[in-house]
Structure 1
Amino acid sequence: MDARVETDAKGRRQVHDACIKPCAIERGMRIIGGKWTGSILWHLKDGPVRFNDLSRMVGGASKKMITERLRQLETQGLVTREVKDTAPVSVQYQITELGCTALGFLDELRKWSESLPQNMADA
């Protein structure tokens, strides 16, 4: 249901029939809109990646932040985690089939971002 906005006689805006639940865009942003989330999924698109390699790929994010995002993505079913019994122990992550469904719009976001003036990204 779309919200209806009306202006009263005093110029105040009133919203009617607002959605109780988040709209589809808000819901999607809650799932994938966290800082570094899209970047992590994008870097997993070509196959399994070890944690340390992933942390180097996602420049600017701390290992703690990457760990938090990976746990969140794993809980949501967008990423799987595999512990390799090697010496030393190795952990690698892989995007799931569900996670791959986000790659299309992440690629569109990449193209859109590349089309913007460079100084916009710095703002």
Structure 2
Amino acid sequence: MNARVETDEQGRKTAVDSCEEPCSIEKGMRILGGKWTGSILWHLKDGPVRFNDLARMVGGASKRMVSTRLKHLESHNLIEREVIETRPLGVEYSITPLGTTALGFLDELRDWYESLPEKAQT
């Protein structure tokens, strides 16, 4: 990930041996970097949650946005969707073993943010 930088005769800097685009960080951010995505995974860590309950937990996101993010996470096998045969029908989401692998650095991200000086927090 660390590219070497060389300077030419005119003083221009050029990256040498840079990572191919997109690099692993960019690819990972494409999966987890969407707004509400980390929050949704975080709320599923303690067990399955029904859609309406999850939408309420993710304050500020519309149900449509939550649904979009859930489909995205499901397409990457980070969560599972289960239809519950009740009246009315219900849908419940749970985190997969692959999804739980993201919880460690989401926890670290939370700790990092909470350690920032108040001026840096938005």
Q: 1:92 to 1:119 in 2, by over 3 A?
A: farther
> What is the aligned partner in structure 1 of residue 56 from structure 2?
56
SS at match of 2:45: coil
* Amino acid across the alignment from 1:5: V
SS in 1 for 2:59: coil
Q: CA RMSD in A?
A: 1.6
1:27 corresponds to which residue?
27
Q: How many residues align?
A: 122
Distance 2:72 2:92 in 1: 15
Q: Report the counterpart of residue 87 of structure 2 in structure 1.
A: 87
> What is the one-letter code of the residue matched to 1:107?
D
Quote the residue 1:115 is aligned against. Answer: 115
Gaps of at least 5 residues in structure 1 are none
Aligned to 1:46: 46
Q: Which runs of 4+ in 1 moved over 4 A?
A: none
Which moves more between the two structures, 20-29 or 99-108? Answer: 20-29
Counterpart in the other structure of 1:68: 68
The TM-score with structure 2 as length reference comes to: 0.90
Q: Give the CA deviation at 1:21.
A: 4.4
Gaps of 5+ in 2: none
Q: Output one character per residue of 1:35-59: Cα deviation in whole Å (capped at 9) or x when no partner.
A: 1111000000000001111111111
Residue 79 of structure 2 aligns to which amino acid in structure 1?
Answer: V
Counterpart of 1:31 in 2: which secondary structure?
helix
* Structure 1 residue 23, shift from structure 2 partner: 2.8
Identity of aligned residues (%): 66
